[in-house]
Chains A and B, each alone.
With several copies, the nearest count.
Chain A
Amino acid sequence: MSFKVQLEIFEGPLDLLLYLIKKEELDIYHIPIARITEQYLEYIHIMKMLNLDVAGEFLVMAATLMHIKSRLLLPEEELEEEELEEDPRAELVKQLIEYQKFKEAAERLKAKEIEQEEIFTRSGDEAAELSQKEGFLLEASLFDLLSAFSNVLKAVGEKEEFTEIMEEETTVKEKIRNIMDMLRVKASLNFTEFFVGLVNRVEMVVTFLALLELIRLKEIKIRQARRFGEIRVYKQ
């Protein structure tokens, strides 16, 4: 596909793992590696399919997961003594827990930041700055979007191969216009509503890319009422 969405992927592989752990309600200390690896790869697959810039770190983590999986599946007699003692997942779990702490710290900081928004000092500059900058908030994560998109795709059914038969550039542009038209009629729509009536997978991909592009352009914003809930698309 020639059209490349320049959306920055802020989230990394650790975010994706934590996301999956939470979504699947897993115990971080006892991660079912095979299951999580499978899901992890599925997300990578979707990202690649969408031609998103999948950072190298995602692939490194995929390799790590597969390595852990293979070691867990090895019969005990084939393992070295020190390998027996340590759970092959231990290192990853440690990293995830460490990272999760900082994510939590970040959440606390965010709460503080929002608190501060209610407070004004005697600074005209700030007031001027305020009226110019309308902060943008990606309130649902990229993984939430990918997850929703993956559900949409699954709903259509069979794993039909993607064909590169269209001039995406114009099509994405058309889709963008389409989406904005829809949002002119109604100020907000559920994520899935943009895919209603689409049977062609390629068209669905293009629609998704158009949504990503609109997020990047700050024309639309996405929100979730609750974690892992339905995604709603709003006109900015």
Chain B
Amino acid sequence: MELQEARAIIEALLFSADKPISVEQIKEVLEEIDSKSIQSLIKNLQDEYESQGRSFQLVEVAGGFRMSTRPQFGPWLKKFYKVRHRERLTAASLETLSIIAYKQPVIRSEIESIRGVDVAGVLHSLLEKRLIRVMGRKMILGRPLIYGTTDEFLEHFGLRALSELPKMEELVKPQINTDSHRNTDKGTKDDEVKYIATDEHG
């Protein structure tokens, strides 16, 4: 197979899929083309879309590549689809997600000890949105479920990999605050109840 033909097939694959496709997945289809060539053909397509000023781009996300419209067309697309924005995640969901993203594998009580509130409802909705998944059970008393983020999580935030998350140290202090974590980590259950109480009445 010539590279020109392989490039066209890759374009067709990327065009048809709305999920990111990995180089390995492409390799499975093309067989005779090696991963390195596939990678450079993708790069080639990326550059071409760029230089031709196409309205779409080829972006690496969640361990694969995905074609999507360029951000500057957002307002026009929203006008067309008559929506202001996609369903955004609530603050509670975002916080819980961040904790899971940084702390994974993580169990519910750890999240709750950080957020200081019950997260059962939030976890349920995140699972439903497929932004998180159950990775197994922790071999401790009660055998609690272990949570982690999914590829959909990466996609939703346009991340190539978890390593693209801002480093904990880079984060502005209080917010998803490591200090507080350290505090509560050591904290007993009683501490937390107190914390909740303050929160409630504050």
Q: Which residues of B contact A121 (CB under 8 A)?
A: 16, 18, 66-69
Whether B193 lies near A72 (C-beta < 8 A) is: yes
Q: Which residues of B contact A116 (CB under 8 A)?
A: 156-158
Whether B87 lies near A99 (C-beta < 8 A) is: no
Residues of A118-139 at the interface with B, using a CB-CB cut-off of 8 Å, are 118-127, 130-131, 133-138
Q: B8 CB to closest chain A CB, in angstroms? A: 14
Whether B195 lies near A32 (C-beta < 8 A) is: yes
**Interface residues of B, CB < 8 Å — how many?**
71
Query: Which of chain A's residues has its CB closest to B57's CB?
Result: A119
Query: Which of chain A's residues has its CB closest to B56's CB?
Result: A122
Whether B16 lies near A127 (C-beta < 8 A) is: yes
How many contacts A-B (CB < 8 Å)?
A: 196
Interface flag for B134 (CB, 8 Å): no
Whether B189 lies near A117 (C-beta < 8 A) is: no
Partner pick for B171 among A34, A105, A123, CB 8 A cutoff: A105
Query: Which of chain A's residues has its CB closest to B119's CB?
Result: A12
Size class of the contact patch on chain A: 35 or more
Query: In the bound complex, how far is the Cα of B181 from the Cα of A95, in angstroms?
Result: 18
Residues of A68-124 at the interface with B, using a CB-CB cut-off of 8 Å, are 69, 72-73, 87, 95, 97-110, 112-124
Query: In the bound complex, how far is the Cα of B115 from the Cα of A14, in angstroms?
Result: 7
List B residues at the A interface (Cβ < 8 Å).
Answer: 12, 15-19, 66-75, 77, 81-92, 94-95, 97-99, 101-102, 114-118, 121, 156-159, 165-166, 168, 171-177, 179-181, 183-185, 187, 189, 192-193, 195-197, 199-200
Query: Which of chain A's residues has its CB closest to B201's CB?
Result: A34
Interface flag for A26 (CB, 8 Å): yes
Query: In the bound complex, how far is the Cα of B195 from the Cα of A26, in angstroms?
Result: 12
**A102-B17 CB under 8 A given contacts A32-B196, A131-B83:** no
